[in-house]
C-alpha cells in the first residue's frame, strides 16, 4: 500500500466549494492563502485610507479619535497577520514542494487546517468593529495599561491572536517538516533555492516567537479578567515587561515579514540577469545571521522606556550589527546584476524596486538604531516612514514580484505585460509620494497615532494622503490583471522566462495536480 | 492648482536638501537649544550623510549595471558567482563604518544619562489627557492641558498658528540651570517630548523615569505626548517657557505665595 | 530525503474545518462569558464538546490509517519532525512565563524597592515598600493581602519524585515495546498513567492548601500571578499528557504498535519528558530558589 502512487487513492475528488474546504493539496491551499491575503489587503488598505482621509487636513473631519485609533490598530493587525504572513505562506505552499522536488507538503491535513483557521480568526477580529466600546484601539503593539481599557472587543482580540498564532505555528511546522523531509534525492540543503532557505529560517523564527506572543497576550487576558498583576506596579509587575515580551516576538516578526522577500528577490534577479546568483552560500549565512541577531535586538523599540544605560548601549550595538548581513545581501544582488544581460519584465521591475526602496527603509532603520537620535525619532512619523518603506515597497512589492514571476506557471497563461508595467510604475510613484514625506513630518515633530495635527505638518500630510489614494487605485489594476490572467491569455511555456532555472520550470504550466509523483533527478 | 503647488514645493525642497532653504530646515530635526540637542542633531546628520553616500555608491553601481548590462545592448552575461575577497570586503567595511557611528552615539548617550548636580527638580505626571507639574521642594504644583477651542478642532473657526500646541498653564523653567524631571503617570503610558530639548521619555504608571536638561536660550518650546494614551492622545501638548533666572525666581516666589494664600483662605 | 520512488498523500478531510468551527465557537463563547454575558457559557460548552468530537474523530482517522499500513516511513518522519517542532513551540510558550518570572525578580521588584535605577521610584511613589522575594512579592500595593509562600519540600518535592519516576517507568515501557514484552509494556505504561494522575491529585491538594491556608491565589500580586500561571499551565499540560498516555495505553492493550512502528507512542513519550523537564524548571525557579 505504501508504495502506491496515491493518485489512485484519490477517487473522491470533491468538487465545488467542498473541494476547497477539504483540500489537502498544496497548490489549492496556496491559492486559498493568496486569495485570502488579497482580500485582507483591500480591507487593511481601506482602513489605511480612512486614516489618510482623516489626516488629509488638520482638524477633525470624518471620524472620532477613538475610531481613528481603532483604524490604526486594525490596519496594522490586518496587514501583518492577514496579508503579509498569509501571502508568504501561500507562496511557500505553492512553491516549496515544487522547488525541492517533493509531492506536496509534509503534513497536508494540518496544512488545510492552518489555512482554514484564518477566515475564522479574522472574522472574530473584524467583528470587534461592531462591538460595545469599539474595536481595539491601543495600537497593534497592545501595550498595557491602555489595551486593558478595551471594551467588549478585548477577549475577542486576544483569542483571535491566539488563533492566528496557532495557524502560523502549524504552517511553519509544516514548512520545516517539508523541507527537512520531502526533498528529492540529491537535493542537498546547499542546493536548495534561496526561497526555500529563507523560508526554512523564517519558519524557525515563527515557531520560536509566536508562542511568546501567545504567552504575552495570555498575561494581558489574566490581568484583565483574573486579577493577576503582571503589568501592574502595585502588584509588583511592570507595564514595561509586556513591551519586552511583545518585542521579543515583535522584532523577529519583522524579519518574518522580510526574509521570504529576500528569497523571492534572490530567485528573480538571477533569472532576468541571466546570470547565477552571486554568493549563494554567503546569502544563506547572512540570512541565518539576521535571524540570530533578531533575537537580541528587541529593546530598540523601547529606547525611551528608561532602561539602564548598559541596556541601551547593548541593544544599540546589536541592532546596528544587522546592517552587516543585510548589506551582504544587497551587495550580492547588485553584483548578480553586474555584467548580466538584463531584461526588465514586471517581476524584475518589482524586484529592483524592492532592493532600492528596502535599502532606503533599512537606512532609516539604522538611523533609528542610534539611541540618542531615536529619542527624537521614536513614536513619530519618521518611524512610520521607516517601516512602511520596508513593508510596502519591501514585503508587499516582493509578494507582487513573486506573483508576476510565478503567475504564468500557476495559471498557464501570460499576464498582460504592459498592464503589469503600468502597475509597477504607478505603485512606485505613489508609494514614494505617500511615505517619503512622512520622514519630513516625523523629523519636524509629528507623533504617530494622532488623528489631528498642528498646522506646520499640513502640506506633507496632504501629499501623503493623495499618494495613498493613488497607490490604492493602482492596486485595482493588480486585481484586474490577476483575474484576467486566470481567465485566459497567451499560453505560457514551461520555462516561461528565458533565464529561468530550477525545478519549478521543468513542470508544465500549469503544473499537474501532484507536482512530482516520482522524485525528479537532481543534477 | 493647490495640489500642483504642493507637489512643486515637495519636489523643490527635496532637491534643495543642503542649501539653507527655510522650508527644509522646518522639515528636519530641530537643532534645539541645549548642548545635547545639538549633539543629537549632529549625530542625525552624520548618519544621514553616511547613508546617503552608501546609497549613492550602491544605487550608482546598480543603475550603471541597469543601463550598461542590459540584454538589448547585446551583451552576453558573465557567469561569475563568487569572490571570497569581495564578500569579505563588504562585510568588514560596513562593520568599520558602524563602529564609527557607534562611538559618538555612545558618548552622547552617556551624557544624557548623567543627572547629577541638578538644581531644580520637577515631577511630571501624565493623566488621560493632561499633565501635572510639581516643583519639588516648593509647594508649586499645577495641571496643564490643551487650550485650543473645540470650534477650531471641529473646523467651525479659523485655526490659530499654535493650533493644538497651546496649553492653559505653561511650564516655567530657568535657563542655564540643570533641571531634573521625574516622570510618571497616573493611568496609562504617556511620553513627555519636547523636540527642542531633545527630551523624550515614557511616563509609566507605578515607576519613575528621570531626565535632565540645561536650556541655553530663553524662549517658548512646544512639544507633545508621544505615546498612544487613548482617545485624546493627539490633544495633549506640552508648552515650556524658559526664562532668565531672575524672572524664574520671581515667578516661583509669587506662585508659592499665591498658593499658600489660597491654602490659608481655604482653612 | 525520500529514498523510495513514490509518495503518500492523504485524501481531503473534513476534520480541519470542523476543528476551526469548534475552536471558534469555544472562543466566541468564552469571550462572551468573560464580557459578563452568561449566555456565553452555553456557546462555550458547545464549542468544547465540538472540540472533543473533532479530536476523537481526527485521531480515529489517523489511527486507523496507521494501523492499515497506509503510511510509509516518509510519513513517519514527517510526523516526527512535526512533533519535535511542536514541542519546541511549547518550550517557547513556557519561556514567556519563565521570562516574566525572571524579569520581575531581577528587575521590577528590586526597582520598586529602590535598588539600582529604582531609587526615585521608591522614594516618590512607594516609600514604604521593601522588596523581598518571595515574602513581599505581591508588590507595594499588597495586592491580594498577606499571603504565605508555598514551600518546596512538601508536596512539590514529592511531585518531583513522582514525575521523575514516571519518566523512568515510561522509558521502561518503551524498551519493553521494542523488545515485544507486552506485559512489561502495559505495566510500565499503566504505572506512568497512575503516577500522572497521582501528580495531578497532589497538585490539586497543593492548590487547595494555597487557597485555604496560605491565602495564596492568582490575585496575590506578582508572586501569585507567576506561581499560578506557571504551575497552572504545567498542570494543564500534565493533564493533556495523561490523557494521551491513557489513549496510548488503550492502544497497547488493543495490540497496536510493533517494535518498528510506534510513532504515536514515541510522540507521547517525548511530550511527557518535555512536561517533566518543565517541571524541573518550575521546581527550581518557582518553589526552591
Ligand atoms: C519588514 C520589516 C522590517 C525590517 C526589515 C526592519 C529592519 C530594520 N529596522 Fe525596523 N521596524 C519595523 C519593521 C522592519 N524593520 C516596524 C514594523 C517597526 C515599528 C513597529 C511599531 O512600533 O509599530 C520598526 C521599528 C524600528 C525601530 C524602532 C523605532 C522606534 O519606535 O523608535 C528601530 C530602531 O532601531 C528599527 C531598526 C531597524 C533596523 C536597524 C533594521 C535593519 O534590519 C535594516 C538593515 C538594512 C540596511 C542597513 C540597508 C542595507 C545595507 C547596506 C546597503 C549595507 C551598508 C550599510 C551601512 C553600513 C549603513 N526599526
Ligand atoms: C505589511 C504591513 C503594512 C502595509 C502593507 C501598510 C500599508 C499602508 N499603510 Fe500602514 N501600518 C502598518 C503596516 C502596514 N501598512 C503598521 C504596522 C502600522 C502601525 C500601527 C500602529 O501604530 O499600531 C501602520 C500604520 C499606518 C499609519 C499611521 C497611523 C497612525 O499612526 O495613526 C498610516 C498613515 O498614513 C498608514 C498608512 C498606510 C497606507 C496608506 C498603506 C498603503 O500601502 C495601503 C494600500 C492599499 C490600499 C489603499 C487598498 C487597495 C485599494 C482599495 C481598497 C480600492 C479602493 C481604493 C481607491 C479607489 C483609492 N499605516
Ligand atoms: Cu498622553 Cu499620549
Ligand atoms: Cu525591531
Average pLDDT value for chain B: 88
Query: Is the CB of residue C1 less than 8 Å away from at least one CB of chain A?
Result: yes
| pLDDT at site B3 | 45
| pLDDT at site A5 | 40
Per residue in C31-70, pLDDT (tens digit) is 999 999 999 999 999 999 999 999 999 999 988 888 888 8
- B194: burial class by Cβ within 10 Å (0-12, 13-18, 19+)? buried
Per residue in B22-54, pLDDT (tens digit) is 445 578 899 999 999 999 999 999 999 999 999
Q: Which H or E run contains A378? A: none
* Sheet with B219-225: strands ordered across: B171-174, B237-243, B219-225, B190-194, B199-203
A140 lines ligand 2 (CB under 6 A): yes
Q: Which ligand is nearest to the CA of A76?
A: 2
DSSP string computed for C10-43: PPP-SHHHHHHHHHHHHHHHHHHHHTT-TTHHHH
Count of residues for chain B?
267
* Catalytic residue status for A301: yes
Sign of CA dihedral A239, A240, A245, A249: positive
End-to-end CA distance of chain B: 65
Least confident of B96-100, C96-100, C139-143: C139-143
Which residue among A224, A329, A378, A423 is the active-site one?
A329
Per residue in B146-172, pLDDT (tens digit) is 999 999 999 898 999 999 999 999 999
Q: In angstroms, rounded to a whole number, what is the distance separating the alpha carbons of residues A259 and A265? A: 10
Residue C168 has pLDDT above 90, yes or no: yes
Residue B220 has pLDDT above 70, yes or no: yes
Q: What is the largest CA-CA distance in chain B?
A: 95
| pLDDT at site A499 | 87
pTM equals 0.94
Query: From residue A151, how far is each of A128, B231, C34 by CA, in Å?
Result: 9, 13, 11
Per residue in B193-219, pLDDT (tens digit) is 999 999 999 999 999 999 999 999 999
Average pLDDT value for chain C: 91
- Chain position carrying cell 501623503: A464
| pLDDT at site A210 | 97
| pLDDT at site C256 | 85
Residue A79 CA, ligand 2 centroid: distance in Å = 8
| pLDDT at site C265 | 93
For residue B224, give the DSSP letter: E
| pLDDT at site A11 | 41
Contacts of A257 (CB under 8 A, 6+ apart): A80, A84, A85, A88, A391, A395
| pLDDT at site A19 | 85
Residue B15 has pLDDT above 60, yes or no: no
Question: Which percentage of chain B shows pLDDT scores above 90?
Answer: 73
- A492: burial class by Cβ within 10 Å (0-12, 13-18, 19+)? buried
Contact criterion met (CB < 8 Å) for A109 and C78: no
Per-residue confidence at C171, pLDDT binned at 50, 70, 90?
very high
The correct CATH number of C74-288 out of 3.40.470.10, 1.20.120.80, 3.40.50.2300, 2.60.40.1080 is 1.20.120.80
Residue C74 has pLDDT above 80, yes or no: yes
Please indicate whether the domains covering C10-70 and C74-288 agree at the CATH topology level.
Answer: no
Angle formed at CA A193 by CA A188 and CA A198, multiple of 5 degrees: 105
Query: Is the CB of residue A112 less than 8 Å away from at least one CB of chain C?
Result: yes
Interface test with C, best of B113, B206, B212 (most C CBs within 10 A): B206
Which residue numbers in chain A have pLDDT < 70?
Answer: 1-14, 523
State ipTM: 0.93
Residue B236 has pLDDT above 80, yes or no: yes
* Catalytic residue status for A411: no
What residues line ligand 1, using a CB cutoff of 6 Å?
Answer: A 141, 254, 257-258, 300-301, 319, 322-323, 326-327, 330, 359, 362-363, 365-366, 368-369, 374, 377-378, 383, 386-387, 390-391, 394-395; B 51, 54, 58, 94, 97-98
Which residue among A300, A378, A386, A409 is the active-site one?
A300
User: What fold is seen in the domain C10-70?
Assistant: Helix Hairpins (1.10.287)
A76 lines ligand 2 (CB under 6 A): yes
User: What fold is seen in the domain B120-266?
Assistant: Immunoglobulin-like (2.60.40)
Alpha helices in A274-345 (DSSP H): 280-293, 309-321, 323-337
Residue C172 has pLDDT above 60, yes or no: yes
Contact criterion met (CB < 8 Å) for C121 and B123: no
| pLDDT at site C118 | 85
| Domain locations along chain C | 10-70, 74-288
- Take residue C164 and report the three cell numbers written for it: 521523575
| pLDDT at site B1 | 39
Q: How confident is the model over B253-265, as a mean pLDDT?
A: 77
Q: How, if at all, do strands B219-225 and B209-214 pair?
A: unpaired
| pLDDT at site B27 | 80
Query: From residue A153, how far is each of A133, A139, A140 by CA, in Å?
Result: 7, 14, 14
Q: In angstroms, rounded to a whole number, what is the distance separating the alpha carbons of residues C231 and C282? A: 7
Of A123, A212, A235, the CB nearest to C95: A212
Residue B18 has pLDDT above 60, yes or no: no
| Domain locations along chain B | 25-71+97-114, 120-266
Neighbours of A147 (CB within 10 A): 25
Q: In angstroms, rounded to a whole number, what is the distance separating the alpha carbons of residues A385 and B138? A: 44
Q: In angstroms, rounded to a whole number, what is the distance separating the alpha carbons of residues A517 and A507? A: 12
Residue C249 has pLDDT above 60, yes or no: yes
Amino acid at each position: 500500500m505504501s508504495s502506491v502512487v496515491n493518485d489512485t487513492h484519490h477517487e473522491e475528488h470533491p468538487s465545488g466549494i467542498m473541494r476547497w474546504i477539504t483540500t489537502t493539496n498544496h497548490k489549492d491551499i496556496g491559492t486559498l492563502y493568496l486569495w485570502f491575503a488579497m482580500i485582507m489587503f483591500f480591507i487593511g488598505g481601506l482602513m489605511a485610507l480612512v486614516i489618510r482621509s482623516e489626516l488629509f487636513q488638520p482638524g477633525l473631519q470624518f471620524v472620532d479619535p477613538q475610531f481613528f485609533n481603532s483604524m490604526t490598530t486594525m490596519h496594522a493587525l490586518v496587514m501583518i497577520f492577514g496579508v503579509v504572513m498569509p501571502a508568504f505562506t501561500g507562496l511557500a505552499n505553492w512553491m516549496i514542494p515544487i522547488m525541492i522536488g517533493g509531492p506536496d507538503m509534509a503534513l497536508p491535513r494540518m496544512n488545510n487546517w492552518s489555512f482554514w483557521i484564518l477566515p475564522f480568526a479574522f472574522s472574530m477580529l473584524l467583528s470587534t468593529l461592531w462591538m460595545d466600546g469599539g474595536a481595539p484601539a491601543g495600537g497593534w503593539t497592545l501595550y498595557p495599561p491602555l489595551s486593558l481599557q478595551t471594551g467588549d472587543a478585548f477577549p475577542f482580540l486576544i483569542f483571535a491572536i491566539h488563533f492566528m498564532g496557532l495557524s502560523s505555528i502549524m504552517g511553519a511546522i509544516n514548512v520545516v517538516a517539508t523541507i527537512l523531509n520531502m526533498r528529492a534525492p540529491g537535493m542537498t540543503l546547499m542546493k536548495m533555492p534561496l526561497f526555500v532557505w529563507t523560508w526554512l529560517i523564517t519558519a524557525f523564527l515563527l515557531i520560536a516567537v509566536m508562542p511568546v506572543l501567545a504567552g504575552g497576550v495570555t498575561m494581558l487576558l489574566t490581568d484583565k479578567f483574573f486579577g493577576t498583576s503582571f503589568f501592574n506596579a502595585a502588584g509588583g509587575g511592570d507595564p514595561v515587561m509586556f513591551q519586552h515580551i511583545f518585542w521579543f516576538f515583535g522584532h523577529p516578526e519583522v524579519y518574518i515579514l522580510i526574509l521570504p522577500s529576500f528569497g523571492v528577490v534572490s530567485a528573480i534577479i538571477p533569472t532576468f540577469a541571466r546570470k547565477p546568483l552571486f554568493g549563494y552560500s554567503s546569502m544563506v549565512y547572512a540570512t541565518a545571521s539576521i535571524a540570530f541577531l533578531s533575537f537580541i535586538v528587541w529593546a530598540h523599540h523601547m529606547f525611551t522606556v528608561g532602561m539602564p544605560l548598559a541596556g541601551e548601549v547593548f541593544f544599540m550595538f546589536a541592532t546596528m550589527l544587522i546592517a552587516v548581513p543585510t548589506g551582504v545581501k544587497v551587495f550580492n544582488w547588485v553584483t548578480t546584476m553586474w555584467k548580466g544581460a538584463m531584461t526588465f519584465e514586471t517581476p524584475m521591475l518589482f524586484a529592483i524596486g524592492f532592493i532600492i526602496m528596502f535599502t532606503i527603509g533599512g537606512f532609516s532603520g539604522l538611523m533609528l538604531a542610534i539611541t540618542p537620535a531615536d529619542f527624537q525619532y521614536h513614536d513619530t512619523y519618521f518611524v512610520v516612514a521607516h517601516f512602511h518603506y520596508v513593508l510596502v515597497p519591501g514585503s508587499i512589492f516582493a509578494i507582487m514580484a513573486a506573483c508576476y514571476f510565478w503567475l504564468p506557471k500557476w495559471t498557464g497563461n501570460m499576464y498582460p505585460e504592459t498592464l503589469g508595467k503600468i502597475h509597477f510604475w504607478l505603485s512606485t510613484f505613489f508609494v514614494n509620494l505617500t511615505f517619503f514625506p512622512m520622514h519630513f513630518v516625523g523629523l519636524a515633530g509629528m507623533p504617530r497615532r494622532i488623528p489631528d495635527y498642528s498646522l506646520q505638518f499640513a502640506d506633507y500630510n496632504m501629499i501623503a494622503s493623495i499618494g495613498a489614494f493613488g497607490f490604492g487605485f493602482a492596486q485595482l489594476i493588480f486585481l484586474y490583471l490577476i483575474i484576467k490572467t486566470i481567465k485566459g491569455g497567451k499560453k505560457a511555456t514551461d520555462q516561461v522566462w528565458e533565464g529561468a532555472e530550477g525545478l519549478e520550470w521543468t513542470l508544465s504550466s500549469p503544473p499537474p495536480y501532484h507536482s512530482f509523483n516520482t522524485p525528479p533527478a537532481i543534477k | 492648482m493647490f495640489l500642483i503647488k504642493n507637489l512643486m514645493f515637495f519636489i523643490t525642497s527635496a532637491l534643495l536638501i543642503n542649501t539653507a532653504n527655510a522650508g527644509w530646515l522646518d522639515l528636519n530635526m530641530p537643532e534645539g537649544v541645549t548642548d545635547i540637542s545639538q549633539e543629537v542633531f549632529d549625530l542625525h546628520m552624520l548618519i544621514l550623510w553616511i547613508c546617503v553616500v552608501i546609497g549613492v555608491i550602491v544605487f550608482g553601481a546598480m543603475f550603471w549595471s541597469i543601463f550598461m548590462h542590459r540584454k538589448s545592448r547585446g551583451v552576453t552575461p558573465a557567469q561569475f558567482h563568487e569572490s571570497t575577497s569581495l564578500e569579505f570586503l563588504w562585510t568588514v567595511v560596513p562593520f568599520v563604518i558602524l563602529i564609527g557611528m557607534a562611538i559618538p552615539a555612545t558618548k552622547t548617550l552617556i551624557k544624557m544619562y548623567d543627572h547629577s548636580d541638578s538644581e531644580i527638580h520637577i515631577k511630571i505626571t501624565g493623566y488621560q489627557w493632561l499633565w501635572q507639574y510639581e516643583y519639588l521642594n516648593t509647594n508649586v504644583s499645577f495641571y496643564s492641558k490643551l487650550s485650543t477651542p473645540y470650534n477650531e478642532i471641529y473646523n467651525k473657526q479659523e485655526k490659530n498658528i499654535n493650533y493644538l500646541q497651546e496649553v492653559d498653564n505653561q511650564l516655567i523653567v530657568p535657563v542655564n540651570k540643570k533641571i531634573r524631571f521625574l516622570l510618571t503617570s497616573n493611568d496609562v503610558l504617556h511620553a513627555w517630548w519636547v523636540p527642542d530639548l531633545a527630551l523624550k521619555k515614557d511616563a509609566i504608571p507605578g515607576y519613575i523615569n528621570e531626565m535632565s536638561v540645561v536650556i541655553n536660550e530663553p524662549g517658548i518650546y512646544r512639544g507633545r505626548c508621544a505615546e498612544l494614551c487613548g482617545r485624546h492622545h493627539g490633544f495633549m501638548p506640552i508648552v515650556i517657557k524658559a526664562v532668565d533666572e531672575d524672572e524664574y525666581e520671581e515667578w516661583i516666589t509669587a506662585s508659592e505665595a499665591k498658593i499658600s494664600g489660597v491654602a490659608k483662605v481655604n482653612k | 530525503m525520500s529514498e523510495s520512488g513514490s509518495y503518500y498523500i492523504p485524501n481531503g478531510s473534513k476534520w480541519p474545518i470542523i476543528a476551526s468551527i469548534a475552536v471558534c465557537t469555544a472562543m466566541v463563547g468564552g469571550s462572551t462569558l468573560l464580557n459578563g454575558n452568561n449566555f456565553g457559557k452555553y456557546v462555550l460548552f458547545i464549542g468544547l464538546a465540538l472540540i472533543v468530537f473533532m479530536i476523537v474523530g481526527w485521531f480515529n482517522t489517523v489511527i486507523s490509517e496507521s494501523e492499515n499500513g497506509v503510511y510509509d516511513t516518509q510519513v513517519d518522519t514527517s510526523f516526527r519532525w512535526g512533533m519535535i517542532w511542536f514541542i519546541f513551540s511549547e518550550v517557547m510558550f513556557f519561556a514567556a512565563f519563565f521570562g516574566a518570572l525572571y524579569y520581575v525578580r531581577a528587575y521590577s521588584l528590586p526597582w520598586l524597592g529602590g535598588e539600582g535605577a529604582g531609587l526615585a521610584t521608591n522614594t516618590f511613589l512607594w516609600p514604604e515598600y521593601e522588596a523581598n522575594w518571595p515574602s513581599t512579592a505581591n508588590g507595594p500595593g499588597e495586592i491580594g493581602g498577606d499571603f504565605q509562600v508555598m514551600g518546596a519540600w512538601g508536596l512539590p518535592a514529592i511531585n518531583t519524585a513522582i514525575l521523575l519516576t514516571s519518566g523512568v517507568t515510561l522509558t521502561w515501557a518503551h524498551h519493553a515495546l521494542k523488545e515485544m514484552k507486552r506485559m512489561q509494556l502495559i505495566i510500565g505504561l499503566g504505572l506512568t498513567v497512575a503516577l500522572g494522575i497521582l501528580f495531578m491529585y497532589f497538585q490539586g491538594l497543593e492548590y487547595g492548601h494555597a487557597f485555604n491556608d496560605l491565602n495564596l491565589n492568582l490575585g496575590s500580586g506578582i508572586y501569585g500571578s507567576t506561581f499560578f500561571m506557571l504551575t497552572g499551565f504545567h498542570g494543564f499540560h500534565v493533564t493533556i499528557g495523561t490523557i494521551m498516555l491513557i489513549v496510548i495505553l488503550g492502544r497497547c492493550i488493543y495490540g497496536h504498535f510493533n517494535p518498528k512502528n510506534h510513532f504515536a507512542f514515541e510522540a507521547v513519550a517525548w511530550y511527557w519528558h518535555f512536561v517533566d523537564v518543565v517541571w524541573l524548571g518550575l521546581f527550581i525557579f518557582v518553589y526552591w530558589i
